[in-house]
Chain A
Amino acid sequence: MSQPFAKLPAWADYGLLPLINLIVAFLVAGLVVLLVGESPIDAAVLMVKGAFGSGDGVGYTLYYATNFIFTGLCVAVAFHCGLFNIGGEGQAYIGGLGVSLVGLWLGNFLPWWLTFPLAILASALVGALWALIPAWLQAKRGSHVVITTIMFNFIAASIMVYVLVGVLKPAGSQAPETRVFAEGGQLPGLGWLLELVGLSMRSAPLNVSFLLALVAAFLVWVLIWRTKLGYEIRTMGFSPKAARYAGISELRIIIITMMISGALAGMMALNPIMGAQHRMQLDFVAGAGFVGIAVALMGRSHPAGIVLAAILFGMLYQGGAEIAFDMPNISRDMIVIIQGLVILFAGALEHMFRPSLQRIFYRLGRAKNRTAAAVIAGGNQ
């Protein structure tokens, strides 16, 4: 088939297009703000200031971003295998079980730097096992992971309610949460990191999980593009027929990929539980699993893109909270609308502007070729 449009150069594909999407999202969001009688410009200033204007702002932004990096990576790894794992929410939630058990038990007598690796393993393991069941059903029975993983979100939520109002709730407490972990179950903050750039963080919950998230992003990059397993995952994702031809076992790859995906989601639980609250609370994931889908889409399933997209969404969360606080007409729900618009344009409608952009580049390319041809023709004369 003839290709009517020129291929976009990489910088336009990965830079310009997301930027256009983002600008449109903010324009529409600005209209919404205008509609409720507030100034969109003031709101924008408030948001950026709230997210990056102070040590605590930055701390919160990166704290939220940490969650989104993990869940974004979870979605991206599955994407590379052609699987759409939308169960990050549930895998992260149930992963909290692994973190809490380590935190509650080992936190009593081990220092944090020993508890931390064990909690990483526990959360990853629990998340991976939670993803294993849908993976097995997909590989063996052809049950679509989109359906099964979203159902497993509900199952995870129900289990965690049971656990938090019964099994793990300290006697006499009214709140559906565990007791506060002992010191060994609490991760140190990253105030020193912000001090390096001259910011001081007082109450923000940014902690070493952020560094773990960056390491995870790097490891995912290594896995996908530098290992044999990643090669097999990508082959399966691009062409199951080619994978079959190459002797790659579909069963094995689907299960391994989903377990890695689930493990990444599970590790997200470290950040709020051991890093911020030092206990497990009801609904601590708070939608981060779903935001991960938008983050992965926006980051084009590339770890570097995911880290950037996660920081953007962290900004929306933190800056949005500031707006809700300072602008009486804008409630918490309005912020959710604005975030939703960003997800809509950057995620769901990410290809909306692609054809027009391709046309523009095609015309530009043709014009350039014509000029070049004219120059050559002119030179020959």
Chain B
Amino acid sequence: MAEPAIELVGIDKRFGAVHANRDIYMRVEKGTIHGIIGENGAGKSTLMSILYGFYQADSGEIRINGQATRIADPNAAIALGIGMVHQHFMLVEKFTVLENVMLGVEGAPLLKNGISKARAELKRLEREYQLDVDPDALIEELPVGLQQRVEILKALYRGAEILVLDEPTGVLTPPEADHLFRILEQLKSQGKTIVLITHKLREIMAVTDNVSVMRQGAVVATRKTEETTVEELAELMVGRRVLLRVQKGEAKPGDIKLSVENLTVRDSRGVVMVDDASFTVRAGEIVGIAGVAGNGQSQLIETIAGIRAAVSGRVLLDGQIIDITGAADPGELRDRGLAHVPEDRHHMGLVLAFEEYENSILGYHDDPLYLNGPFLDLEAIKADARKKIEKYDIRPGDPRLKTANFSGGNQQKIVLAREMERDPGVLIIGQPTRGVDVGAIEFIHKRIIEMRDAGKAVLLVSVELDEIRSLSDRILVMFAGRIVGERDSDADEGELGLLMAGVEHKEAAE
């Protein structure tokens, strides 16, 4: 057998307490398309960043074409013939295609000679790989699919033999994605090696020759694509981990507390993020929204919580309409009994530079309980913070400690304590245990169940399918902004996985 294009042996990488890559072995054959699949945070991007020289592995070896190498920085990677197409493009918007392609490899202080040479080379590449782009078009005027093509051209122009694409279809429409796959096939037939990072099963099945599945920083399996199935990959990806045993009785759903009707949300670029979503949440039940990250869950809960404006649709809290057209006032919604544990606790749920007690009132700082006229009643706030610290076992139990110095789990407890202790009627929770240590997960899950049993309506969003399944009384699956299915909590894991990957949705549409 020929030397593999890439061989990663025993790659290990930690970021502080996070073990991002665990003793990884991976072999990518020359002239193949190799898929790496896994949920968000499984360590795919870290691994590729190590390959591209952004990070250095703590231990392990990288072999390119059989040669052990040290990749100190991206320049070294480029010299070895590794090209990377990032999820977020690294293009100068105000430059033309040609200028972007030759950026950094201009060849001479005066551009004149370089330009004509680059133009000729670009023409050749475009012909050879059928990557048609107008070299004189401005990047900002090109659609996303073509911008991506420029990224690929950039890599090829630098002599890439190995091309790494990080979630390349995340920003593409389905036809654009199909076109991209044809380009990848073309590149493969010319002898290039391609590594495709994705969390979409459909893409893996469509274009790859081999696929490695990553979970929690480790490669859990490598398969030949033709010998595996979507079901098997979904299982491997989500993991057959034992469900965390959550003590949970029968739900006793009461009145409808939160009702979402035909909600449509666009992001700042005008892309539809939530597409005609409708559902209800009753008192005393937990409704879980499952889905791969980036399918509109974040936008959905931010809209309900009044942070983001919707294009159309209605949201009713206790039967009363929330004004979502101009983004409601989150403060007013809090007064009406809607609490929100945001997905992004580092930037939204907390101010990391604040001391703990200051964060314990974020959003509720208007409450006269914490105020003496215009002044903060520091004693009352700290006493209140101490009570929450005790009840939620937040460690270290020091309200004067800077929030950034708490661990992820304890930071999350600060947010949960703040939102839950207000006794809200409706609780929206995004990613309750992301980046949270195992010990805290159980505690957090118990609290969420307690909220339900106390008759609160809980809307839960998580990319952890296990978590959704063990906590929810009903499960909604979101894919591409749509709610594509509703299942009971005992729904089959594989079936949910397929719904999340949009498989059944696609078949149903056809």
Contact = CB atoms under 8 A, between A and B. Distances in A.
Are A and B physically bound partners?
yes
Interface of A: 1-3, 222, 226-232, 234-235, 238-239, 241-242, 244-249
A241 B15 contact: no
Nearest to A236: B351
B354 interface: yes
Contacts of B14: 2
B366 A228 contact: yes
A226 B344 contact: no
A251 to B, nearest CB: 12
A126 B25 CA distance: 69
Given A245-B363, A246-B362, A247-B330, A239 B374 contact: no
Interface of B: 14-16, 305-307, 329-334, 340, 342, 344, 347-354, 358, 362-363, 365-366, 371, 374-376, 378
Contact of B376 (A2, A3, A227, A245): A227
Name A's interface SS: helix
A295 to B, nearest CB: 22
Contacts of B358: 231
Contacts of A235: 351, 354, 362
B149 to A, nearest CB: 32
A247 B332 CA distance: 8
Contacts, number: 75
A115 B508 CA distance: 81
B504 to A, nearest CB: 35
B362 A242 contact: yes
Given A239-B351, A241-B348, A227 B307 contact: no
A238 B351 contact: yes
A231 B365 contact: yes
B347 A247 contact: no
Contacts of B350: 242
Given A238-B354, A242-B349, A247 B334 contact: yes
A168 B306 CA distance: 53
Given A244-B307, A245-B342, A246-B362, A227 B374 contact: yes
A229 B347 CA distance: 20
A229 B354 CA distance: 15
Query: Which 9 A-B residue pairs are closest in the complex by CB-CB distance?
Result: A247-B331, A246-B363, A247-B330, A245-B348, A238-B351, A241-B347, A241-B348, A238-B353, A246-B362
A222 B378 CA distance: 12
A239 B342 CA distance: 14
Contacts of A241: 344, 347-348
Nearest to A248: B331
A246 B374 contact: no
A228 B374 contact: yes
A231 B375 CA distance: 10
Q: Which of A3, A234, A239, A245: most chain B Cβ within 10 A?
A: A245
Contacts of B330: 244-247
A3 B14 CA distance: 12
A242 B366 contact: no
A344 B402 CA distance: 31
Contacts of A232: 365
5 contacts: A228-B366, A238-B352, A245-B307, A245-B363, A247-B366
A247 B306 CA distance: 9
Given A1-B15, A238-B353, A246 B375 contact: no
A244 B306 CA distance: 9
B365 A226 contact: no
A229 B349 CA distance: 19
Contact of A228 (B331, B332, B340, B371): B371
Contact of A2 (B15, B331, B342): B15
Given A228-B376, A239-B351, A247 B16 contact: no
Given A242-B362, A245-B363, A249-B329, 17 more contacts: A226-B375, A227-B374, A227-B375, A228-B374, A228-B375, A231-B358, A231-B365, A234-B351, A235-B354, A238-B351, A242-B348, A245-B305, A245-B330, A245-B362, A246-B331, A247-B329, A247-B331
